[in-house]
């Protein structure tokens, strides 16, 4: 309740701030101070709400629905704190919280730069108002009480001392098929509890817990970093609109530059951490699966990177006295689109439209939220492109558009367009499910090889070109050494790596070309002003990243293996032997040990599998053995303890009246043989089973496939029909549905002779050559971004 | 002036054209009408639900899993999948199989099970109102 009030007040403050800042921009000077105050009040209220949510989680207050749904007593403290963003409501809160912080920094930044503050902040508070509306009691409020809508709660979460109270019995339900008991939590039960002096917090004593895929280290850092990137993406949008409000395109370039660089750097880091998480924990087999959730954060990043380069051109041409500079319109579009795409990404992943397409689990939040998110996207698209349309004529008249063919301007522009093409392709592919289509990874992969070739080639080329114009023989002279060096390097890589695909050769060439050109420049200026290094460091990072991508994805090998316990198998030059499994983490998980030997090098890897209580599903975690030049990657697929394959034949599931064929015999499940109910309820010995009719070679047999309970032992009695060469054994019987699972096999089948059950671990083993370069490349790139941030921050004050 | 539009336009035309071509080549349609799935015989993502009353076979040795699926109108088809039964298959609300209908059954290359990620919401119907 308090939480909802705080958030509602924050929404009101945000709207007040927006109106006051706008009035401040329109010339009402008194309004500016009110707007400033209102924004600070809003930020404080948001911090308070976030602190309250964290407090409720840490103190296990399960009377709040969000706390019940996403946390439990068992979570360790770090993960418990991270369950703050485990669900939709909380991740909106995280977004809001981080956006508020960004706003405080932005307000401070803008107040020091002329008349910037009212314009920028009036747009920024539009964004905070929308996010606040999202977490308001109307939509995805994290402070909803548990019983706001009737909810079935598993009996495990209920205080065992209270469940027997007479008035509780009316709210108990049983699910026959899963044999679980539930309590229906509703206003009726809450008033009955209150009447008896029991609080909901005493009654519900544990939560549902967090999805086991999220209960690990990366959950604690990946979402905050990614959402920081999302939050910071608001700022370039605000600067672009603010520039158009004033119709002054001079200062916004240098003022928004550090923000754009920082947003892209953080967003890039967040995306990479997500990829590393997927690689290390989720066992997707790789770091990038073109999953909609991954894609939708990559799209704004690509647009931001495109924008950085065209913004640079505008800055340079302004400095050379070209009026408002080149590519002003392009920049305004890209800056606006970056944030619009961030919201669109939220729309894609939170509205449930991709329900069928993603491995991430989505909850359909209902049409109201769907519509709200559409309005959110639409509003920002309209504000961004609407103001641009309004200023279009002025911009067209005042932009000089003449670039020489061999100019750095043109090559940067072309590179930006290629980056936008990449973003468009991913956008189309990711949005396809909305229109009932889907694309596979091949769609993205085959598009991106040519794109990467062009981008890296242009990157190297643009740095050799001069601003304005370059004479072709100058270019030739300048580029010859780098081209020669990269050709030599490429040939070495081709020979060493055994590359045969022409496109991959071209890609290797353009990446090494970019790498060498950037290294050369970086070495030249390292003794001078180190702040100038940013761009080159970032380029070197992304080139290294791409070499890692080529190595790990194109030259990785993979193989599916059935490892029989104790029997070594050879793969990729390693002898692998499954040595058995052991429980870990308080018996909640199982580690399957595989001994690997290559020459003198022996090590054990332990992929993990377990059944999670949370969703009753099998969870798998890969094991990775990292070496300098490659990773060995072991994904567990399944484990068979050998007891089920004893019969040899397939298990067939039958309902009463069904018929199936096996080895020329026709078998009909005639009727269910019921147990003696009284002895069964009394805990005595009983039997149940299926009455079967077998037809073979004109003969008919009546067979009873039975399950016998004897004391605590359950036995499935096999039946052998020697004449029909048929062995029948019940494997499972559900007395409620009377559905039977029966194993048929031939008696003289060799398979039945296998005496000892074999324990088999099925894994997918793969090599990931140079995957380390993927991570280090991105880290170097992010480092480069931040060198540039510090340089551009200084310039933004001048 | 000309150069900018020439290069930008060229790239856009080439890549969007390439994309449109690839999209028509590699896109797979979602289809919830099994009558169409059986008639058209091309690769689709068929969405429906598992027919629990009909028998299913899990052949562990050959790793072939076959079962029956039906769409909302009750059209049923047999699905054969080369692989083991997905872990949360039994509790799935709906199933998306990728593949094509050939030789009298749907040859699936991929099964995606849609599980109620918040099980209470969907369980409301499953929970029988039998008071204890």
Residues of chain A with pLDDT under 70: 176-179, 283-285, 352, 355-366, 401, 615-616, 642-650, 677-684, 710-714, 747-757, 798
Q: Is A660 exposed, middle or buried (0-12, 13-18, 19+ CB in 10 A)?
A: middle
Asked if residue B98 and residue B38 are part of one domain, the reply reads: yes
Helix (H, G, I), strand (E, B) or coil at B128: strand
Asked if residue B95 and residue B81 are part of one domain, the reply reads: yes
Asked if residue B105 and residue B41 are part of one domain, the reply reads: yes
Nearest residue to A765 via CA among A573, A586, A579: A573
Compute the distance between CA of residue A17 and CA of residue A103 in angstroms, rounded to an integer.
Answer: 12
Write the DSSP assignment of A473-494 as a string of letters: HHHHHHHHHHHHHHHHHHHHHH
Among all residues of chain A, which has the CA nearest to that of B22? Answer: A443
Nearest residue to A670 via CA among A698, A700, A703, A697: A703
Residue B60 lies in a domain: yes
Q: Check CB contact of B109 with chain A, cutoff 8 Å.
A: no
Tokens 């509780």 label which residue? A168
Tokens 């009719």 label which residue? A693
Length of chain B in terms of residues written: 132
Q: Does domain A644-753 have CATH number 2.40.50?
A: no
Is the ipTM here above 0.90? no
Q: Is A334 exposed, middle or buried (0-12, 13-18, 19+ CB in 10 A)?
A: buried
Asked if B96 and B47 touch (Cβ cutoff 8 Å), the reply is yes
Domain at B37, CATH number: 2.40.50.140
Asked if residue B53 and residue B24 are part of one domain, the reply reads: no
Compute the distance between CA of residue A352 and CA of residue A434 in angstroms, rounded to an integer.
Answer: 10
Using CB atoms and an 8 Å cut-off, which of residues 10-39 of chain B contact chain A? 11-12, 15-16, 18-19, 22-23, 26-30
> Rounded to a whole number, what is the distance in Å from the CA of B75 to chain A's nearest CA?
19
Q: What is the pLDDT of residue A3?
A: 94
Q: What is the pLDDT of residue A285?
A: 65
Nearest residue to B7 via CA among A334, A415, A261: A415
DSSP annotation of A784: H
Is B27 in contact with A644 (Cβ distance < 8 A)?
no
Is B114 in contact with A428 (Cβ distance < 8 A)?
no
Q: What is the pLDDT of residue A389?
A: 96
Decide if pLDDT at B15 tops 50. Answer: yes
Q: What is the pLDDT of residue A401?
A: 67
C-alpha A531: how far from chain center: 34
Asked if residue B2 and residue B62 are part of one domain, the reply reads: no
Decide if pLDDT at B124 tops 50. Answer: no
Q: Where do the domains of chain A lie?
A: 1-146, 151-203, 644-753
Helix (H, G, I), strand (E, B) or coil at A586: coil
Asked if residue B59 and residue B21 are part of one domain, the reply reads: no
Asked if residue B99 and residue B113 are part of one domain, the reply reads: yes
Q: What is the pLDDT of residue A713?
A: 62
Q: What is the pLDDT of residue A679?
A: 65
> In terms of residue numbers, what domain contains B40?
32-117
Residue B129 lies in a domain: no
Contacts of A434 (CB under 8 A, 6+ apart): A353, A354
The torsion angles phi and psi of A159, rounded to 5 degrees, stand at: -60, 115
Per-residue pLDDT tens digits for B31-87:
888 888 888 778 888 888 888 777 777 776 667 788 888 888 888 888 988 876 765
Compute the distance between CA of residue A656 and CA of residue A740 in angstroms, rounded to an integer.
Answer: 8
Give rounded-to-5 percent helix, strand, coil for chain B: 30, 35, 35
Compute the distance between CA of residue A545 and CA of residue A473 in angstroms, rounded to an integer.
Answer: 32
Q: Is A136 exposed, middle or buried (0-12, 13-18, 19+ CB in 10 A)?
A: middle
Per-residue pLDDT tens digits for A254-283:
999 999 999 999 999 999 999 999 898 876
- Domain count for chain B, please give it: 2
| Mean pLDDT, residues B92-99 taken together | 80
Collect all residues of chain B within an 8 Å Cβ-Cβ radius of residue A437: 23, 27-30
Test the B interface: residue of A164, A462, A616 with most B CBs within 10 Å: A616
Compute the distance between CA of residue A467 and CA of residue A407 in angstroms, rounded to an integer.
Answer: 6
Asked if A330 and A392 touch (Cβ cutoff 8 Å), the reply is no
Compute the distance between CA of residue A202 and CA of residue A292 in angstroms, rounded to an integer.
Answer: 41
Residue B126 lies in a domain: no
Q: What is the pLDDT of residue B132?
A: 31
Rg of chain B over CA atoms, in angstroms? 21
Collect all residues of chain B within an 8 Å Cβ-Cβ radius of residue A739: 52
Among all residues of chain A, which has the CA nearest to that of B19? Answer: A425
**What residues does A608 pair with on adjacent strands?**
A591, A621
Q: What is the pLDDT of residue A696?
A: 81
Asked if A97 and A46 touch (Cβ cutoff 8 Å), the reply is yes
> Rounded to a whole number, what is the distance in Å from the CA of B80 to chain A's nearest CA?
14
Asked if residue B96 and residue B74 are part of one domain, the reply reads: yes
Per-residue pLDDT tens digits for A422-456:
999 999 999 888 887 888 888 898 889 999 999 99
Helix (H, G, I), strand (E, B) or coil at A528: coil
Compute the distance between CA of residue A593 and CA of residue A611 in angstroms, rounded to an integer.
Answer: 18
């Amino acid at each position: 309740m308090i939480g909802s009030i705080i958030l509602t007040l924050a929404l009101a403050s945000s709207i007040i701030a927006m109106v006051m800042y706008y009035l401040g921009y329109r010339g009402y000077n008194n309004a500016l101070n009110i707007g400033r105050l209102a924004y600070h009040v809003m930020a404080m209220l948001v911090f308070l709400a976030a602190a309250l949510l964290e407090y409720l989680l840490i103190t296990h207050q399960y009377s709040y629905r969000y706390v019940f749904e996403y946390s439990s007593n068992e979570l360790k403290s770090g993960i418990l704190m991270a369950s703050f963003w485990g669900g939709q409501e909380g991740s909106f809160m995280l977004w809001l919280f981080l956006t508020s912080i960004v706003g405080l920094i932005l307000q401070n930044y803008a107040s020091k730069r002329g008349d910037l503050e009212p314009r920028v902040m009036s747009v920024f508070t539009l964004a905070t108002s929308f996010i606040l509306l999202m977490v308001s009691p109307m939509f995805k409020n994290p402070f909803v009480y548990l019983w706001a809508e009737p909810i079935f709660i598993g009996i495990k979460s209920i205080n065992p001392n209270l469940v027997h109270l007479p008035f509780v019995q009316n709210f108990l339900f049983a699910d026959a098929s899963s044999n679980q008991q539930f309590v229906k939590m509703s206003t009726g039960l809450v008033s009955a509890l209150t009447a008896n002096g029991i609080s909901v917090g005493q009654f519900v004593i544990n939560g549902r817990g967090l999805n086991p895929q999220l209960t690990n280290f990366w959950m604690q850092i990946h979402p905050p970093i990614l959402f920081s990137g999302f939050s910071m993406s608001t700022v370039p949008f605000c600067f672009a609109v603010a520039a158009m409000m004033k119709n002054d395109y001079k200062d916004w370039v240098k003022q928004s530059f550090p923000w754009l660089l920082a947003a892209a750097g953080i967003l890039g880091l967040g995306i990479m951490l997500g990829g590393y998480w997927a690689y290390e924990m989720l066992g997707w087999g790789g770091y990038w699966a073109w999953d909609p959730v991954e894609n939708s954060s990559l799209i704004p990043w690509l647009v931001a990177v495109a924008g950085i380069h065209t913004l640079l051109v505008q800055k340079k041409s302004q400095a050379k006295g070209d009026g408002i500079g080149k590519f002003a319109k392009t920049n305004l579009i890209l800056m606006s689109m970056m944030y619009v795409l961030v919201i669109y990404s939220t729309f894609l992943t939170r509205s449930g439209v991709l329900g069928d397409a993603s491995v991430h689990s989505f909850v359909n939040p209902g049409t109201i939220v769907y519509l709200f998110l559409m309005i959110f996207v639409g509003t920002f698209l309209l504000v961004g492109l609407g103001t641009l349309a309004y200023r279009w004529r002025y911009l067209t008249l005042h932009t000089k558009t003449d670039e020489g063919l061999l100019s750095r301007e043109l090559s940067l522009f072309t590179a930006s367009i290629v980056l936008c093409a990449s973003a468009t392709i991913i956008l189309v592919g990711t949005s396809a499910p909305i229109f009932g289509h889907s694309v596979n990874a091949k769609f993205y992969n085959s598009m991106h090889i040519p794109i990467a070739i062009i981008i890296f080639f242009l990157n190297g080329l643009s740095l050799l070109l001069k601003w304005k114009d370059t004479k072709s023989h100058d270019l030739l002279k300048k580029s010859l050494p780098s081209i020669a060096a990269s050709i030599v390097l490429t040939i070495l890589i081709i020979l060493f790596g055994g590359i045969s695909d022409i496109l991959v050769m071209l890609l290797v060439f353009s990446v090494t070309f970019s790498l060498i050109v950037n290294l050369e420049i970086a070495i030249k200026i390292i003794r001078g002003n180190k702040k100038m290094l940013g761009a080159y460091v970032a380029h070197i990072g992304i080139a290294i990243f791409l070499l890692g991508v080529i190595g790990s994805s194109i030259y990785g090998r993979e193989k599916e293996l059935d490892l029989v316990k104790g029997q070594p198998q050879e793969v990729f030059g390693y002898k692998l032997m499954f040595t058995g499994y052991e429980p870990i983490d308080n018996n909640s998980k199982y580690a399957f040990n595989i001994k690997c030997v290559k020459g003198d090098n022996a090590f054990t890897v332990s992929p993990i599998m377990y059944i999670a209580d949370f969703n009753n599903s099998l969870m798998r975690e890969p094991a990775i053995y990292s070496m300098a030049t490659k990773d060995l990657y072991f994904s567990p697929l399944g484990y068979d303890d050998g007891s089920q394959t004893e019969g040899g034949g397939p298990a067939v599931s039958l309902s009463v009246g069904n018929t199936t064929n096996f080895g020329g015999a026709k078998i009909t499940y005639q009727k269910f043989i019921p147990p003696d109910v009284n002895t069964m309820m009394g805990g005595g010995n009983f039997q149940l089973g299926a009455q079967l009719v077998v037809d073979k070679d004109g003969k008919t047999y009546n067979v009873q496939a039975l399950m016998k309970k004897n004391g605590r032992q359950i036995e499935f009695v096999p039946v052998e029909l020697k004449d029909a060469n048929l062995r029948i054994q019940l494997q499972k019987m559900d007395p409620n549905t009377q559905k039977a699972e029966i194993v048929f096999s031939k008696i003289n089948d060799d398979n039945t002779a296998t005496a000892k059950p074999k324990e088999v671990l099925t894994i997918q083993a793969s090599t990931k050559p140079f995957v380390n370069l993927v991570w280090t490349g991105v880290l170097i790139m992010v480092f480069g971004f931040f060198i540039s941030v510090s340089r551009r921050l200084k310039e933004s004050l001048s | 002036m000309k150069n900018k539009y020439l290069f930008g336009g060229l790239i856009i035309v080439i890549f969007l054209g390439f994309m449109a071509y690839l999209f028509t080549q590699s896109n797979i349609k979602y289809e919830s009408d099994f009558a169409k799935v059986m008639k058209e015989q091309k690769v689709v993502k068929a969405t429906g639900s598992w027919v629990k009353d009909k028998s299913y076979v899990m052949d562990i040795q050959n790793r072939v899993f076959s079962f029956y699926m039906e769409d909302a109108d009750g059209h049923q088809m047999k699905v054969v999948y080369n692989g083991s039964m997905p872990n949360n298959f039994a509790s799935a609300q709906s199933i998306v199989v990728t593949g094509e209908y050939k030789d009298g059954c749907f040859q699936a290359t991929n099964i995606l099970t849609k599980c109620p990620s918040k099980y209470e919401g969907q369980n409301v119907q499953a929970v029988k109102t039998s008071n204890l």
